[in-house]
Each structure stands twice: as structure tokens, then as C-alpha cells.
Structure 1
């Protein structure tokens, strides 16, 4: 009995990781869609707003959850980035110099700029990420002396993104909270000195679910930001287009993780049901096996988002259309909402 349960857990975790891969790719793709369709300035503003919103929502609660609130500000900020990113599968390093100076380094390959995507990311967009999050940690902590010094950017051809949190002897002006010092270089990383999560409170199931949610959270943040920044019509188009492109490109990879084949509408119906389950969404399936239609009762991705707009549904409309095209030619999928762009969603596959 134990072996069966263990095998079931492994299948569940594999599917969770496949969901993470899908939304990871979607988030990276969304940034590139804005770069190519609206330009560098709009993409930088979009990335800034996404990361600032995440920072404001997640940084302080995350410090408490990870048990870091008692640490000196520079150390707490750096350890937060190390541990929170490690949970999400991001390769990151942490090096402590003093209680007032602590380094973080994201070596290649960069998680956020998946695969060849790094070739399409302007330096201004990467800097916007740092402005949105790293530069605001001192403000969030109520410490105006804390800033971030960036010493390398991988999108500029350097061997990773790195920098250090520094607690100065004076309060920083807004433009001083993020500065660049390319003449400096991070010390070498020693895994033996890096912080670690307590195993007792972070067992394998919790880690696997957190790994999945890490990628999903970026899309949860990005969709409403897109609507607020570009308006519902343009945002809906960009969200849908990105979803269709990513769905087509990634169906084979995600289906392998789900241990499901490609080819027909029936097989795509099985895939979509498994995807909903792996996302913790609830769906009602009709009794007629010849008609592939079901009601999606929940959409956890956007649950409790205070500024949700129906245009955000472009995320899953586009993704599922693209996944259907990746599954097999001439598989059509359509969605209608029973509540003005909110769940329940009724999906039909033909």
C-alpha cells in the first residue's frame, strides 16, 4: 500500500512540475510579447509593475514564513531571495560579507529568461525587474538606508545577474536605492555556508506544491497588471496571443509530464481534465462521452484577485487553444463564461 501511495505522489508531483513549466514559459513569453509588440519602454514598465506588485504582496509575509524577520536588513533581504527562489527551482547563490552587506547571484542559465528567450530581452527590461523588487526591500522593511548594488546583468552578456544588499550610514534617495557598479564582482559561492529550509516544516509535498505555485504566481500577478497598464482590449489580445503561442510550443513537453498521448479531441479532453486537476481546479464533466464539454467551476489562478477583469481570461483561452493545436490538427476548443468573464467557464472541444 505504501508503494502505491508513493507512486501516486510521484505522478502528482510530475504533473505539478509540468504545470509549473507551462506557466513559467507563459510568463517569459508574455514579457517577450510586450517587447516585440509594444516595444522596450512598455515592456520595462510592465516588468517593473509586475515585480513591484509581487514585492509588495509577498516580501514581508515571505520573510515571516521563511523565519528571516529577525535578521539584519541586508542579510534578511539576500536570504529571502536565496530561499524563495530556491523553492521555485531558480538557481541562485548567497554570499555573506557582513551584517550590512550580503550578495546574491543568479548564475546561468537564468530561470526567468527561459532558453533562447534571453536573446530577446533588452537590458532595460532586466533593470526594471531590479527597480521593481530589489530596490524596494529597504522601503518595505522601514529601513531607508538599505539599497541594492547591481554588479552584473546576464542579458548584457555577463556571466549572471549579481549584486549585493548594502545598508548605508545614511538614508537613500529613491534614485539611490538601485545603483550599478560593474567594476565589482561577487565572491565565490560556498554551499556549506548558505541558509537552508528546516526539513520538518518543509516536507517534500509542501516543496513540490510551492515549486508549482512559484511560476503560477507570476502569471497571477502579470495578467491584471497587463489590463491596468494597456487597457482591456490590448491586454486581452496580448494575453491570448501569448497563451496560444506557448500552448502550441509546449504541448508535447507538458503532455509527456502528464503521461498522456496526443492526436484526437478525445485525447485532448483527457489532457485538459488532468491539467485542471493538477492546477487544483474543479470541473464538472458531462455524462455523454461523445460530447467533450465540461464546466470549470473554479479558476484558482485568479481567485481573490481584487482587480480581476474579464480580459484576464485571455490567459487560459489562449493557452487552451494553443495546447489543442499542439495536441492535433483541427482540434477546436472554445470557452464561454456563465458570469461575465468569471467562472464557471464552459469548455467545448470538437
Structure 2
């Protein structure tokens, strides 16, 4: 099992949880609440990662429209997301996410209402001008895959006037992005971004969305309801994905799965033999919660629901008992 294969397995695991959180919000709370959650996720994530990411990618000295579009292109390339880019001029640059969409994989896209997808654009794309100190920068969406268009696409354009908040995102489906030419697209400097760094960043890309969703769901829906939604989605994802993830990690039993998953996430993990002959799995950290200032216990409970769902999918009679802050005993049924 290579490190890169393990990191890819973790990326898929958390990608599924993030998509599941949004779908659970749509199904259990309705499109308006789901849109509010998606808006909160993307606005929070933008605040935490956009400007540092621009500097890391060497884009902070470019014209605002070009910097914004190149950021989305390069950061999504790193995240393993299909993306295209066309620069018309220093004040207008296109970005396009062709199908299949990373964020709504497979048939899950059929469950995403248009307003939920648009909330992502309002949360992040429409706010890039504010973050860059360019009040005239807006985003024009020319297609959404969830509506049946052949991709999510649009362009950043810098106006000669400051835009009011409602005008920072417009829809213009009569327009279309020019054909993408990969030979003219921005490229990551290979010396600074070797394959190993890109693979590790893809793991972090998916985990960061879940970390942000944990905080956003609690902020938007409250601790009790937000935590319940997060945990419900986590349990379902654990049930559905445990066997594929365990196979990808090379784990043949559930304890090995828990240890391998923790290690692939970047945390040390081990098993301790107990006097009664049982085994306790201990982690030295919880990477998905790392970086959250004073995480509410409901957030760890929601994350732990991934493990409870996974065990139920592995052996429906077994039980997982927490015996420490980050320690669990598996109790046979």
C-alpha cells in the first residue's frame, strides 16, 4: 500500500461525507436550508483559504479577474477536480467545471437543486472582489450542470464601478465559454508541486470541506440539529463506503481499517491489548477536527458516526464503545 493510494482513499472517504452532508440537508431540511448551509461552507472556506492560497500559488500580483480565475483553476487541479480556464483579457477570465462534477459525483447530481449549487457561487465566487479589495469585480454564471447545462461555467469581469452585493453574481445563459486550450492554461511549477505534494493536498482538499461543513452546520442549524444532520450523513456514508475504503487501504478486518484510516489521515494510531483479551484502538489526534478552535463535542460525535456506520456495514452485530477521548473498543455482537 503506497502513501499516495492511502491518501486517495481518504480523499474519497471525506469527499463522500461532504456530498452526503449536502444531500442530507436537501432531503431532510429542504432546498432553502441546504442552500444556506452551502453558502456558509463556501463563504467560511473562502475566508480561511483564498488569500493564503493566492500567495502560495504566486497569483497575488495579478489583475483581480485573472487572479480569481487562476486561483480556481489551479486549486481545483490540485484537488483533482476537472476544470478549464480561458483568459480573454486582464479584466475578464473564464472558469469552467465540465462534467462529471467532482462535488456532486455520479448520480448524486440529480438530487442537487439549482439554488443549492448557486449558493456555492454566492458564497465564494461572488465575494472574490471583496476579498481582493476590488469592489468592481463580479462573477457571471453562464451555465450550471445541475440544470442540465454541459458544465458549471462563468467568468470573472472587472467593472469600472463598484458592485452592490446583489450584482456581484449574475446569470447569463445565452453566453458560453470559448473552447478550452490546455496548452495555454496556467500550470503548477513542478519543482514546487511534486506529485507527492499534490496527492497529499488532494487528501487535505476533501478533508477541509468536511471540517468547514462541521462548523457551518452547527452555525446555521444549531448544535443539536446541525450535529444530528452531520451524524446522519456520516453514518450513511460509513455504511456505504467502508468496504471499498478498507480494500483501498489494504485492511482485512475492522481494527486494521480503523488504524489504516487514521494513519492515512496523518494521525498515529495503535492497538492496545486489554486484560480481557479485547483490543482498543487509540489515535494520537483527529485530523478532520484539527484547526477548529474549541470544537464542540457534537462535531466529534458527528465524525465518529462515520466509524459507527462503517462498523455496522462491516458487522451489524458488533458495537463500538468509546473508552477515551480518541480510543475505542470493538464489542462483538
> Over residues 85-105 of structure 1, what are the superposed CA-to-partner deviations in whole Å (9 max), with x where a residue is unaligned?
010110000001011000000
1:327 deviates by: 2.0
2:254 is the alignment partner of 1:268: yes
The answer (yes or no) to whether the contact 2:22–2:34 under 8 Å persists in 1 is: yes
**Cα distance in structure 2, aligned partners of 1:290 and 1:276:** 23
1:309 deviates by: 1.0
- Summarize the alignment of residues 77-226 of structure 1 with structure 2, pairs less than 5 Å apart: 77-226=68-217
The answer (yes or no) to whether the contact 1:48–1:128 under 8 Å persists in 2 is: yes
Residue in structure 2 matched with residue 287 of structure 1 by the alignment: 273
1:284 deviates by: 4.5
Of 299, 319, 323, the residue aligned with 1:332 is: 319
2:11 is the alignment partner of 1:25: no
Residue in structure 2 matched with residue 278 of structure 1 by the alignment: 264
Give secondary structure in 1 for the equivalent of 2:239: helix
**Cα distance in structure 2, aligned partners of 1:210 and 1:297:** 21
2:287 is the alignment partner of 1:300: yes
1:294 deviates by: 2.7
1:292 deviates by: 2.2
The answer (yes or no) to whether the contact 1:223–1:312 under 8 Å persists in 2 is: yes
1:238 deviates by: 1.1
The answer (yes or no) to whether the contact 2:129–2:135 under 8 Å persists in 1 is: yes
Residue in structure 2 matched with residue 341 of structure 1 by the alignment: none
**Cα distance in structure 1, aligned partners of 2:277 and 2:198:** 39
**Cα distance in structure 2, aligned partners of 1:216 and 1:304:** 11
**Cα distance in structure 1, aligned partners of 2:322 and 2:104:** 30
The RMSD of aligned alpha carbons is 1.3
Unaligned runs of 5+ in 2: none
**Cα distance in structure 1, aligned partners of 2:187 and 2:261:** 32
Unaligned runs of 5+ in 1: 1-7, 262-266, 339-343
Stretches of 4+ moved more than 6 A in 1? none
**Cα distance in structure 1, aligned partners of 2:244 and 2:72:** 29
**Cα distance in structure 1, aligned partners of 2:280 and 2:251:** 19
The answer (yes or no) to whether the contact 2:8–2:203 under 8 Å persists in 1 is: yes
**Cα distance in structure 2, aligned partners of 1:279 and 1:256:** 16
**Residues 334, 116 of structure 1: alpha-carbon distance in 2 compared, 3 angstrom cutoff:** farther
Residue in structure 2 matched with residue 347 of structure 1 by the alignment: 328
**Cα distance in structure 1, aligned partners of 2:255 and 2:42:** 35
